[in-house]
Amino acid sequence: MKVEVIDSVTDYAALMESIFDFNQIQQFASSGQFRICMDSLHAVTGPYAKAILERRLNAPAGTVVNGEPLEDFGGGHPDPNLVYAHDLVAIMFGDNAPDFGAASDGDGDRNMILGNHFFVTPSDSLAVLAANANLVPGYRSGLAGVARSMPTSQAVDRVAENLGIDCYETPTGWKFFGNLLDAGKVTLCGEESFGTGSDHVREKDGLWAVLFWLNILAVRQQSVEAIVKEHWQTYGRNYYSRHDYEEVASEPANQLMANLRSAVKEMKGQEFGQYEVAYADDFSYRDSIDSSVSEKQGIRIGFTDGSRIVFRLSGTGTKGATLRVYLESYEPDPTRHDVETQTALAPLIDLADEIAQIKALTGRDRPTVIT
């Protein structure tokens, strides 16, 4: 038997170089005017990020932090969000912050993008990548379509409409994206839990997303914040947040969902203060590729102003379930794009409790985690 030993870092870097303009990113990243901080959280992307960012793109040594993969991830939690990537957040929101920050998770498939004192939601990140894909060599010929998971904000929908391409709304789970990618129906896809990908692989790819952003920044010569805010000027802002109620007792959690499933049947046209229900359902999905049907994927309540509330139940272990409430409010007025997210969503937060009776059924006054 012959065994071939390959260097996966080399192969991956070659694939990325076939998609992105490494020469342009190199000039940008090594100029001394633009500083990057990539936190690999002592997980798998460390060697890849060092090889590409520091050696191939000539970013200064130390650009990649926590770059050595460790069995215990250095005692941390390798989850790229504002809670667990706290060291990176402190750097990006501190004095003399770099211009661009990013983190990737344990197996390298998810990502978080930050600017100087600025956080990019995963939903906005997907929308910005789609809107600027023509700036990247690998996607210059256009996108076949885009896809997002149902709980992900509708920001990318507006980009797809502007580009004249299809936008698919799927259940949570990358297999649904995989079918669409295999069929050539979409080029980019993403989910609200920090996962973004394209047709170059059949999985989320955190470092790919980082390089995508760097390519856009190198071309546009603008800050992360400026690019996102200009995007809001063009498409409007989708204020978005997820409220997790963890370890809710299974019986009241199931009762809450059962009550909602019963209520949504008659909810269309109902008015709740300033909100009028445009549609309400228990999301089901028929896969256009393999004809499989996925039912009871979450309660959607959409309002005539473009706002949404989504309720999903996740897990039913010995410690109960996690109730996830997704809140989204669309704001087309540019003068109202700088409102704090939870403040902007406050009416919907109150309405979600009114409709689902969260406090009454679970006894919880507030979410366990807000992202």
Cα distance between residue 187 and residue 201, in whole Å: 10
Structure tokens at 312: 């999903």
- At residue 308, φ and ψ (nearest 5 deg) are -145, 150
> Are β-strands 285-286 and 293-294 bridged in parallel, bridged antiparallel, or unpaired?
antiparallel
Cα 273 to Cα 9, 29, 277: the distances in Å are 55, 50, 11
- What structural domains and CATH numbers belong to the chain? 8-235 (3.40.120.10), 239-370 (3.30.310.50)
Q: Which residues are CB-contacts of 342 (< 8 A; sequence separation ≥ 6)? A: 241, 349, 370
Output the pLDDT for position 318.
52
300: three-class secondary structure by DSSP: strand
Chunked mean pLDDT (size 10), the chain, 371 residues: 95 97 94 92 96 95 94 91 92 96 94 97 96 98 97 97 97 93 97 94 96 98 97 97 92 95 93 94 92 94 96 74 95 95 96 96 91 84
Cα distance between residue 353 and residue 366, in whole Å: 10
127: three-class secondary structure by DSSP: helix
pTM comes to: 0.93
Q: Tell me how long the chain is.
A: 371
Question: Hey, how many other C-beta atoms are within 10 angstroms of the C-beta on 275?
Answer: 19
Cα distance between residue 260 and residue 152, in whole Å: 20
Residue 143, sorted as left (phi over 0), alpha (psi -120 to 50) or beta, turns out to be beta
Cα distance between residue 261 and residue 44, in whole Å: 41
Cα distance between residue 106 and residue 346, in whole Å: 34
Report the candidate in 327, 162, 153, 303 with the shortest Cα–Cα distance to residue 234: 162
Structure tokens at 325: 């409430």
Query: Is 253:358 a contact under the CB 8 Å cutoff?
Result: no
Query: With 0-12 CB in 10 A as exposed, 13-18 as middle and 19+ as buried, what is 243?
Result: buried
Cα distance between residue 371 and residue 241, in whole Å: 6
